[in-house]
Amino acid sequence: MPAPSAYLDHAATSPLRPEALAAMLPFLSEHFGNPSGSHAVSRRARRAIEEARDVVAMHTGRPSGEVVFTSGGTEACNLAVLGVHGSAGGEVRCSAFEHHAVLHACLACGGRLVPVGTDGLVDLDALADSLHPGVRLVSLMLVNNEVGTIQPLEEAVAVVRARAPEALVHTDAAAAGAWIDLQAPCAQADLVSLGAHKFGGPKGVGVLLVRSGVKLAPVFHGGPQERARRPGTHDVAGIVGMAAALEAAVARRAEECRSVGTLRRRLVDGLVEAVPGAHPTAGATARLPSSAHLRFDGVDQEELLMLLDDAGVCASAGSACASGALDPSHVLLAMGFSAVEAREAVRFSLGWSTTAQEIDLALAAVPKAVEQLRAG
pLDDT tens for each residue of 187-227: 999 999 999 999 999 999 999 999 999 999 999 999 999 98
Spell out the residues 6+ positions from residue 296 whose beta carbon is closer than 8 angstroms to its own.
275, 277, 278, 304, 344, 346, 370
- Look at residue 92 in the predicted model and tell me its pLDDT: 98
What's the CA gap between 5 and 29, in Å, rounded?
32
The pLDDT mean for the chain works out to: 95
Q: What is the mean pLDDT of residues 357-368?
A: 98
Q: Is the pLDDT of residue 1 over 50?
A: no
Residue 7 has pLDDT above 60, yes or no: yes
**Which residues lie closer than 8 Å to 256 by C-beta, 6 or more apart?**
178, 179, 249, 352
CATH of domain 18-248: 3.40.640.10
Residue 149 pairs in a beta bridge with: 287
Mean pLDDT, range 280-285, rounded to an integer: 84
Q: What is the pTM of this model?
A: 0.95
> In whole angstroms, how large is the CA radius of gyration of the chain?
21
The pLDDT of residue 77 is above 50: yes
Report the alpha-carbon distance of residue 312 to residue 318 in Å, rounded: 18
pLDDT tier for residue 285 given thresholds of 50, 70 and 90: confident
pLDDT at 326: 64
Three-state SS annotation for 38-55: CCHHHHHHHHHHHHHHHH
CATH 3.40.640.10 residue spans of the chain = 18-248
Residues 6+ apart with CB under 8 A from 265: none
Q: What is the mean pLDDT of residues 177-183?
A: 96
Q: Where in the chain is the domain with CATH 3.90.1150.10?
A: 6-14+253-375
List C-alpha distances in Å: 83 to 71, 160, 216.
16, 19, 4
Mean pLDDT, residues 249-261 = 98
Give domain 6-14+253-375's CATH superfamily: Aspartate Aminotransferase, domain 1 (3.90.1150.10)
Closest by CA position to 208, among listed 35, 23, 61, 71: 71
Q: Between these two residues, 195 and 37, which has the higher pLDDT value?
A: 195
pLDDT attached to residue 106: 98
Catalytic residue selected from 77, 94, 109, 321: 321
The pLDDT value given to residue 3: 56
257 tagged catalytic: no
Please list the residues that pair with 166 across neighbouring strands: none
Q: Is the pLDDT of residue 322 over 60?
A: no
